[in-house]
Amino acid sequence: MRTALRSHVGKVRQINEDQAWFGQVNGHALAAIVADGMGGHRAGEVASGLTVNSIVESLQNWDNFELGADAIPSLREIIRTANTTVFETASLNEQYHNMGTTVVMAMISQGSGLIGYIGDSRAYRIRSGQLEQLTEDHTLVNELTKSGQLSLEEAAQHPRRNVLTRALGTDPEVAIDVQVIDWQIGDRLLLCSDGLSGMVEDELIQATLEQSELNLEQQAERLIELALEAGGDDNITVIIIADDAGANATGGGTA
C-alpha cells in the first residue's frame, strides 16, 4: 500500500487547524486520520492535535487486527477516549471553551477495513471508475436534505452548510459512526477535510485520482491546488491510500 498526505492553510485562514497522520499500527494495519479543528484563539488547532495524538496512542496499544464487525466497539472506544481528552481539556482551560473537531479515520488490513467518523470530514473510495462517499456529513444542511426540506442544489449554496450537528470534544458524550468496508487491490481511499470536499466537486476529485500520469503525491498536490483555485476558503487536508499490489503498508507521516 502507498500513502500520500498533504495539508495547506488555504487562502483565508491564518492558522492551519487541520491535523492529519498515517502510519502502521504495530506492523500490521495501515491507519490514517484527518481532524479539522474549530474554536477561537488557536483552540481548533489544539482540539485537532489532541484528537490525533490520543487516537495514535490508543492505536499503538490495540492488538486486535481482525477488522470486521467485532472490532467496531474497540474503534468506538478509541474515538470516545479522544472525545474525553478534548472535552476535559476545554473544561479546565477557559481559553479553549467550546473547542472541538471533526475526525475521520480509516484502518486497512488484509482485504478489509474500518471507517470511523464524527463531523463533516469525509472518506471516499474509488473502485472500478466509481467514486463512493463512505461517510455521511453530520451537518444541519445534510439533515435538512435527508428530510426533503432542501434540494442538493440548495444545500450546496446554503449559508449554514458548515454548521455541524456533531463534533468531537464539545460534549462529554458523542455518537460515533463506525462501519466495516471491504478492500480490494486497485482501490483508492481518500480522507479529507471539508476544505477540499466543500470546494471541489466530486467529479473533479475522481478525475484527479484517476490521472495515471500523476503519482500519489502529485495527485494529493493537485487536489490541494483545485481547492485553492476554487477559493481556498478553509484549511485543506488530504490523505490518499492506494493498494496496487496488496503489499504491506510502510512508512508514516503527519501534518
Confidence of residue 243 (pLDDT cuts 50, 70, 90): confident
Greater confidence, 122 or 29? 122
Residues 6+ apart with CB under 8 A from 174: 80, 83, 118, 166, 167, 168
Give per-residue pLDDT as tens, 46-66: 999 999 999 999 999 887 667
Give per-residue pLDDT as tens, 186-222: 999 999 999 999 999 999 999 999 998 999 999 999 9
Calculate the average pLDDT of the chain: 90
Packing angle, helices 43-60 and 72-92, rounded to 10: 140
Residue 156: the pLDDT is 63
Q: How far is residue 235's CA from residue 18's CA, in Å, rounded to a whole number?
A: 7
Residue 248: the pLDDT is 44
Beta bridge partners of residue 118, listed in sequence order: 103
Residue 158: the pLDDT is 54
Q: How far is residue 70's CA from residue 8's CA, in Å, rounded to a whole number?
A: 36
Residue 146: the pLDDT is 66
Give per-residue pLDDT as tens, 10-25: 999 999 999 999 999 8
Exposed e or buried b per residue across 200-230, where buried means at least 16 C-beta atoms within 10 angstroms of its C-beta: beeebbbebbeeeeeebeebbbbbbbbbbeb
Give per-residue pLDDT as tens, 95-120: 998 899 999 999 998 789 999 999 99
Greater confidence, 148 or 86? 86
Q: How far is residue 46's CA from residue 8's CA, in Å, rounded to a whole number?
A: 17
Q: Is the pLDDT of residue 144 over 90?
A: no
Q: How far is residue 47's CA from residue 85's CA, in Å, rounded to a whole number?
A: 9
Q: Which three cell numbers stand for residue 3?
A: 500513502
Give per-residue pLDDT as tens, 83-97: 999 999 999 999 998
Residues 6+ apart with CB under 8 A from 53: none
- Does this model's pTM top 0.85? My answer is yes
Average pLDDT over residues 136-162: 68
Q: How far is residue 252's CA from residue 63's CA, in Å, rounded to a whole number?
A: 19
Domains of the chain, first to last: 2-244 (3.60.40.10)
Average pLDDT over residues 26-34: 88
Q: Is the pLDDT of residue 148 over 50?
A: yes
> What is the C-alpha radius of gyration for the chain, rounded to an integer number of angstroms?
17
DSSP conformation class of 245: S
Q: Is 119 within 8 Å of 168 (Cβ atoms)?
A: yes
Confidence of residue 26 (pLDDT cuts 50, 70, 90): confident
Residue 246: the pLDDT is 46
